[in-house]
Amino acid sequence: MRTRRPFARLVLGLLIMVPGGMLTEQVFARVRYPGAGFGGVPLSFDLQRKYEALDTVERNGFLGQFVLVQALDVTIIVGTLLVFTALTLLAAGRRDAGARVRRLGRLTTVAFVLAPAMDALENASMLALIAFRDRNPDWLNFLQSCCTLGKTVFFIAGWCGLAVLLAAWAVDAVRGGRTSKRHVTNRS
């Protein structure tokens, strides 16, 4: 019963993230944002550089699709939130998990909530940058860049935490298996 909800979130998250992510990446690839690779726009605190990239995208006729990418990215944001929090809950919420594992699970969950939140703020601030390009809002550029950086840091922290949680789960499973076999052997 305890694993039913996280497992359902995991499945739902994958059903949202995988097709939505594929569509988002296909549209983003067509935009040809200068310097971008799989996963998005490169981090830059240089507002002029961002505007030059946006001007290039607009000259090539893809600004509308770039705006669409920001909206489609919601599927990746929601999917990653569901998938990674579910995996963390599954790995840290085991009955045999110790206090350290549960604490790491809580910290990892926080990272996996903050990373998509930063991603959503990054997209919203990019849309605002596009809308207010004529005003050169340095503060908005700073916000957008900080969100990009924060998203990256929180995802990396979450993935590291999840790796430790999954390794702890595997070690516990191996130890539990050996203990069970010895216990059965001693009874025979």
Q: Which residues contact 117 (CB under 8 A, 6 or more apart)?
A: none
Specify if 184 maps to a domain: no
Task: Return the pLDDT at 3.
Answer: 56
Q: What is the DSSP string of 60-84?
A: TT-HHHHHHHHHHHHHHHHHHHHHH
Tell me the pLDDT of the chain averaged across its residues. Answer: 86
Residue 188 lies in a domain: no
Q: Is residue 183 part of a domain?
A: no
What domain count does the chain have?
1
Residue 32 φ/ψ region, left for φ over 0, alpha for ψ in the -120 to 50 degree band, beta for the rest: left
Alpha helices in 32-137, H assignment, sequence order: 47-59, 63-92, 99-131
In a domain, 187, yes or no: no
Q: Which domain holds residue 17?
A: 4-174
pLDDT at residue 77 in the model: 95
Residue 181's pLDDT band (cuts 50, 70, 90): very low
State pLDDT tens for residues 4-49: 788 899 999 999 999 999 999 888 888 888 766 655 667 788 888 8
Q: Does residue 186 lie within any of the structural domains?
A: no
Question: Comparing C-alpha atoms, which of 180, 177, 171 is closest to residue 91?
Answer: 171
More confident residue, 18 or 136: 18
C-alpha 13: how far from chain center: 11
Position 131 in a domain: yes
pLDDT value for 2:
54
Confidence of residue 133 (pLDDT cuts 50, 70, 90): confident
In a domain, 35, yes or no: yes
Per cent of the chain over pLDDT 70 is 88
Mean of pLDDT values over 141-148? 92
Q: CA dist 64 to 52, 109, 146, Å?
A: 16, 35, 24
- First and final C-alpha spacing in the chain: 33
> Virtual CA dihedral for 147, 152, 154, 156, nearest 10 degrees?
180
In a domain, 18, yes or no: yes
